[in-house]
Structure 1
Amino acid sequence: MIIQEIILPLIVSLSVSIIFWLLVMIIPSLFPRETARFVSYFRGEPEDPLEIAAILSYLGENNWRRFLTMELLKGRFSEKVKELESRKCEEWRGEVESQKELLEKRKLTDDEILHIEAGKELKKRHGNLLKLVGTDRSKFQLNKYEEEFIRIREEKRGRIHDLRAKYEDFSFWALKNRNLLKYIQERIFSNRKFQLSKIKDSSKEWALIHLWGLKAPERYQTSKLYENLLLYINLVGDEKTLIELAIALSSHEKSLDFFDKIMKRVENWLT
């Protein structure tokens, strides 16, 4: 009886120890990703830079805690991407409003008229062949069409008085000291429509976006961006980068500045 009283607690204690050891050591080793997801489910997203820095240190380990870091910071990363997109969109909107004040209504210049008329003639002659030049990038072909474009343009110069009359009622929103030559030329050599009616009747915002290159910032591909960031950290990241990333993913008041800086660094590294 006494032996049973001694052995039974030992067996129970040993069983508990074995189960605990299995939970802590074996299962995480066999199922690192699943363990990381399970643990991250019960942990809140970190916001403090020091806490995030400690979590980032696990990226250098080759066990389940590496996957835990990736799981814990994925949510923070997505939030920061949305915040950065929102800020860039707000900055772009402010830039559009300020640039509207610099727009003025004006008529087409002689050079713009000649570009349009020569472009129409070239498109009529070659059509989709011009579009193929954009994909082929053959220097010979591109020069061939450019030379023909220049010849047509010079031929029409003698009729500029009549052509001016054709566009007498055409006016549009333009930035001072800027012209439409690049816009027209891009449309010619991609065989796209000039959109003259839209240009004539456009709002200031449309003109800024479509004529003068003030396009809205592109949306980030969050999952791809996160993969690229992890790859960058794994291959070239150092202690300074990890500290900057910890601040970038935190609730620090300068976090978005750090985040934008790191995203640009990753983008430059990839290119």
Structure 2
Amino acid sequence: MKPVRVVAISLAILVTITAAQAQQNPALTGEPLIGALPEVNPFETEADIQQGAALFQTHCSYCHGVHGEGGRGADLAAGEYRMGGSDRELFKTIRIGVPGSEMPAVRVSDDDIWRLVGYVKRLGSQGLLEKAPGDAVAGEALYAKNGCSGCHRIRQNGTDLGPALDDIGRRRGLAFLEQSLVMPEAYVANAFRAIQLALKSGETVAGVRLNEDDLSVQLRDLGGNLRSLSKDNIREFRRDKPSLMPSYEGRLNKAELANLVAYLNSLKGAR
């Protein structure tokens, strides 16, 4: 067989394969979606969601965080989606990306896009799958007694030094809630990582880092005040204690801990 003919046959085979892949993955061609998408995700069994979790780590976690907590990309654990939160809208966002942003098209099969949709929705609704066994009313009293509103906000009550908790019971599961109370440093969202600054004047400033450049650092201090400090005035910059929240291990007994978790689990937000 002549070399030219071999090349022509190979190209024809390649075109056929690419066309077949494009039917499953329009993102390969850059073409818009063709045909109607189902309203409801057809791949939302537990096995599908676990496959979606693996796909998320490969394709999404670099920008959206290992737990969907955000960073370079949006916080997906909040369960709020700028381009829409229906199954169909999430499919389109993942498939074709967000024009004008750093969010690219994800180049996997349609079936795997649906599996990613299932996992992304799970990220923002972990607590809806579980019911805490403790006493939520008693837990609310413990929340007030321990001064949790000094750092956290629930609706109009509290401050913004720590994450808002209005819908924490929807977004987070029971194991996460308990761990956040007894081992708060195990997971700290990027937006609430703490820093400690020793200034040349002798003052020590601690708080949540908001922004930083070559010349200065901005933070919210423990009093809730916004501060901008020149790096020329900073003697030491410490990041070894990323959580401002104290551990309640040993401060609460087993029943009290269960009650506080139950209260947090009851906070589902206005949905």
Does the TM-score normalized on the shorter chain lie above 0.5?
no
* Structure with more of its chain in helix, by fraction: 1
TM-score by length of 1: 0.29
Larger Rg: 1
* Structure with more of its chain in strand, by fraction: 2
TM-score by length of 2: 0.29
